Chain A
Amino acid sequence: MLMENRVRELREKHGWSQGELGERLDVSRQTINAIETGKYDPSLPLAFKIARLFGSRIETIFDPGK
């Protein structure tokens, strides 16, 4: 089961496109799209990188659900 996340919401809040966020995280636009649409769960290092970039705690961005 894939996690829910707030990546799209946070990205839009910062006014970044998927490509811009991908550049900041050193991943492809496709990877950002797959994470935002819930088709792919990022690895722990990438999840930490995302959390650090948005200045949030990892559990406030990614919700494993019940």
Chain B
Amino acid sequence: MARFSNKRYNVHVALIMAVYVLLVFFEWPHVKGVTDPVLKIALALVPALPVVGVIVLMGARVLRSDELQQRLHLIALGAATGLIAALSVVFSFLCAAHVLALAAEDVLFWIFPALCLTYGLTRMALSRRYGGTAC
């Protein structure tokens, strides 16, 4: 399987995320006004499609990486998952104790971006440690 170049991967992700931003700004605000339940569900899920697309792209990139790259991806993903899991437990207890008042939908929306950010930063730090570029 041919490897994904960083440039090709970044272009794909940027294009998909541009579509996501357009959907969130122009399609999402109209969802609440839709009365038909089937159409409402369909429209509500449309912005999730680009996100799923990025996840598939990330998976393809990892599968097409060499053994060191796969190891770095795995460590970064493990660190990101561990951190987000720990934070979710901490915030859950704080909310349950009524110390924090967070809306569930706001918290759920931020899980994926937080996971991506932590994963990206860890991956960058690991890459530098193993003598590679930041990406």
Residues of A within 8 A of B (CB): 26-31, 33-34, 37, 39-40, 42-43, 46
Across the two chains, which residue of chain A brings its CB closest to B65? A28
Contact with A along B58-76 (1 / 0, CB 8 A): 0000000111110000000
Residues in B whose Cβ lies below 8 Å from that of A27? 66-68
Give the size category of B's interface with A. 10 to 19
Residues of B within 8 A of A (CB): 3, 65-69, 127, 129-133
A37 and B129 alpha carbons, distance in the complex (Å) = 11
Residues in A whose Cβ lies below 8 Å from that of B67? 27, 31, 42-43, 46
- A sample of 25 inter-chain contacts (CB < 8 A) reads A26-B66, A27-B66, A27-B68, A28-B3, A28-B65, A28-B66, A28-B68, A28-B69, A28-B132, A29-B132, A30-B69, A30-B131, A30-B132, A31-B68, A33-B130, A33-B131, A34-B130, A34-B131, A34-B132, A39-B130, A39-B131, A40-B68, A40-B130, A43-B67, A46-B67
